[in-house]
Structure 1
Amino acid sequence: MSFLSHLRAFFGPAAVPEGSDGHGEQLTVAALLALVAQADGRLLRVEEEELRRALRARFGLEESEVERLVARARDGDAAPDPATTLIDRIVQDIPPTERPRLLALAYRIAAVDGNIHEFEDDLIWRTGRLLGLSETELADARRDALGDPEQVRSHG
């Protein structure tokens, strides 16, 4: 899938009935992290493993629960209904104080292969800006996730 397709999928509408169990923090987080992991047009095994590990750790899930959650996120079950976007879902499901931590987690997923692709970096940055985070807050989330930013290269 091209970067443009990822952006369309990220910002465009898809159907999940309001009030269905498709809404919720776990699915919203999984959808964002899966999108970041695939933003460079490929999903490496190390990215997929880190995605699963992050979901297990964040939510205390069993492996079978993680598998179902990732499958739903990938199949579009996590996509928002026509009146909203994933950003709106994050606003709805993730408290403001947790959003920088969510973006730090997204940076860890992006960097797990040793590189942050420009598409991954741009996706996370745009998400943060749409959520109202300042440049400083985004830089702090990136630094919190990566530690020494010199250890992880950004490339295009």
Structure 2
Amino acid sequence: MLQQIRAFLADLVAADQETPRFDADDRRLAVAALLAHVIGIDGFVSAEERARLEDVLARHFSLSVEDARALADAGREAELESVDLYRFTSVVKRGAPLEERLAVVEMLWELVYADGVVHEFEDNVVWRIADLIGVETRDRVLIRQEVAAGVAKTASETAEG
């Protein structure tokens, strides 16, 4: 009996070490939740949007594929449990320097453009999030233009090649 309890506890500890934990005040979780919100705002989350979410998180936070997937899942779950954006935007605004907040807006636009269609709800939610995290309108618009230009350039290179 004692061996079974030890084995059970060892399994719990091993499982706990395999899956990264993201606390409620973890900026990475807040960002993941905001990104999950923006890709779901139009009512449909495509496989490409999900994959882009994981890729963006992996690149921005220097995570492995598995950890980025775990963070994306945790972000989606936190976003579904939340009643508003303030829970996440306050964590980002309070704990992130301006450069990181600008990077969050860039990630948001990357995900908005992931499916090739900018829905008015997506545009509006990026505006609201940028405002709540203290990113000026001018910066938000410039970042959007840069991301859109990058998407257009990638699309034309893909068509040519």
The verdict on a shared fold, with TM-score over 0.5 as the criterion, is yes
User: TM-score range, shorter-chain basis?
Assistant: 0.7 to 0.9
- The code of the aligned residue for 2:69 comes to E
How far apart are residue 121 of structure 1 and its match?
0.7
* Runs of 4+ with deviation above 4 angstroms: 77-80, 148-151
What is residue 131 of structure 1 aligned with on the other side?
Answer: 133
TM-score normalised over the length of structure 2: 0.71
TM-score normalised over the length of structure 1: 0.73
Q: Distance in 2 between matches of 1:86 and 1:78?
A: 12
Does 2:60 correspond to 1:30? no
Q: Distance in 2 between matches of 1:28 and 1:37?
A: 15
Aligned residues: 131
Distance 1:44-1:138 versus aligned 2 partners, 3 A rule: same
What is residue 144 of structure 2 aligned with on the other side?
Answer: 142
- The code of the aligned residue for 2:97 comes to P
Instruction: Compute the RMSD of aligned alpha carbons.
Output: 2.6
2:118 is paired with a residue whose SS is strand
Distance 1:58-1:35 versus aligned 2 partners, 3 A rule: same
Does 2:76 correspond to 1:74? yes
Q: Distance in 1 between matches of 2:143 and 2:41?
A: 19
Query: Deviation string for 1:29-55 (max 9, x for gaps)?
Result: 111111111111110111011001111
Aligned partner of 2:60 among 58, 61, 66? 58
Instruction: Considering Cα pairs closer than 8 Å and 6+ residues apart, tell me whether 1 or 2 has the greater RCO.
Output: 1
- Structure with higher Rg: it is 2
Does 2:102 correspond to 1:106? no
Gap runs ≥5 in structure 2: 1-21, 154-161
What is residue 117 of structure 2 aligned with on the other side?
Answer: 115
How far apart are residue 113 of structure 1 and its match?
0.8
How far apart are residue 85 of structure 1 and its match?
2.1
- Percent identity reads 25
Aligned partner of 1:42 among 17, 41, 44? 44
